Chain A
Amino acid sequence: MSDAAAAAELAARASYGRLVAYLAAHWRDVARAEDALGDALVAALETWPRTGVPDKPEAWLLTAARRRLVDGARHAGVAAAAEADLTLMLDEHADDAGRAPVSDERLALLFVCAHPDIDEAARTPLMLQTVLGLDAARIGSAFLVAPATMGQRLVRVKAKIRETGIRFEVPERREMAARLPAVLDAIYAAYGSGWEDVAGADPRRRGLAEEAIWLGRLVARLLPDEPEALGLLALMLHCEARRPARRDDAGAYVPLREQDVARWSRPMLEEAETVLATAARFAAPGRFQLEAAIQSAHAQRARSGAADWEAIALLYEGLLRCAPTVGARVAAAAALAEARGDEAGLRALDTMPADAVAAYQPYWALRAQLLKKLGRTGHARDAYDRAIGLSEESAVREFLMARAAEMR
């Protein structure tokens, strides 16, 4: 790749979200903002190799993108309201085109993506595309959706933002508590989409974990007084720190309690602890802080040699009060089994509704393990089969088959 192409790529990656957010906020049209910036990037790749890379590539891209928007609007005959905006935008930058710092509208854009009027399933894909510039094929792969379908969903949701006139603004203080969880949930969903691909066998999926952490850092920086934003960042860092330990050298699956703590990333664990401690100073616990605290209690094994299961079980009790998801209930049962015995864990699993767990792999994997330890071999074998059949990863299937075979 030539220097110019590399510089264009670099400028694009560094400023894509800022520029899309800025243009979309002023134009109130996400799709057009993306198209204009896309055109500007193409123009840059054509122009820069001849003219050299400009001093401020971001400003160049913004000017070029704005010109596209203006041309496009004139061509289409814009509505009066948009024209007014357009004039304002041009005035703002008339004297020092690009030299004025671009205001950071990314937080407003994130709140648009996670707006109550936007379908919950569309929120994370929308964030990944608008703020990070990921394409529909990559987002589709991460969320197990056909690329064409994902593309159509994104087009529809952007049209909805334009048509319903969702405002590009960060909610006021009093609204924040109601609106922030949707933003954090969407970011965590992006992280979760990369979670299953433990081995990093699929770099396209593994990438989303890093992208989600990037978004988590962004929100934590832009909203430094929101403990839950810090909690989410701490949670993702804790999980990510363990990624290298989740497979052994032969690629075999290693469950959390058997992981070699030497393979956990110390810098990431330390950062997670620092961020969580900062969140705790606000004395306003919430779902993500509790989840991060649970991971912190697991991480204690790296310091003291043993995880504090009683503390973990108590933290899960707290978590279930504010976020009783299927995943949290299964994890809580696992903690209960460690802290108070396998029977207690199994009883917790028994209280879960059958339809909620029919296709939930972790439920069957835990159930199988507890039944096996309790010597109920027949039922254990059945549960192992169910867990194996619901697994998406061959490493996990092989692990479960080996455990089931130990019963013969």
Chain B
Amino acid sequence: MSIITIERKVLEKNDDIARRNREEFAKRRILAVNIVSSPGSGKTSILERMLEYFEGKVSVGVIEGDVQTDLDAQRIAKYNIPVVQVVTNGMCHLEAKFVYDSLSAFDGKDIGLLIIENVGNLVCPSNYDLGEEFKIVVLSVTEGDDKPLKYPSMFRNASVLLINKVDLLPYVNCDIDTMTKNALTVNPKLKIFQLSCTTKQGILEWCGWMESQLL
């Protein structure tokens, strides 16, 4: 019998490509962020509000990750910005190589902000570094205030939490203070914003903070 000692991270190859992405972003002076959440929490709607805010201020590029269809890329294309749709064909997360392969679409476009919208899933994308500066996790009030405790990995690995659909608070059984407390229990350093894409509540504050990160 013989034993080969490996002691290697299973995602080492992904992490290597993420490092290359990070170097590429630094070289091109791009701030890249990775938006993660469950399906239907409002990632694409938040993205649209951000594109409206940044129009004429900062040139934005978008990578859309979905299991199937290019519906999100079609939504984003209306804003006349470079967008790449990555269809994962069943895979529940984006990997660093998808981002690396998409970068050529932004050649010569002088992008300042790259927003990567991950596949809707509150577990799997947390394991995969894409080379982003930070992760933004979106949680809508309709999902319940206990989710940070149930899915700690995603909230631990994110820097920002966007609590979305706050206009629905009167109609759902969700206590926003409990949700905030639970999120901060998992990750006390989370920066938290409350938003509604329908009433636009909190959008200016959130986008303003995001803009300050570009300086």
Q: Does B associate with A?
A: no
> What is A's interface to B at a CB cutoff of 8 Å?
none
**Chain B interface (Cβ within 8 Å of chain A)?**
none
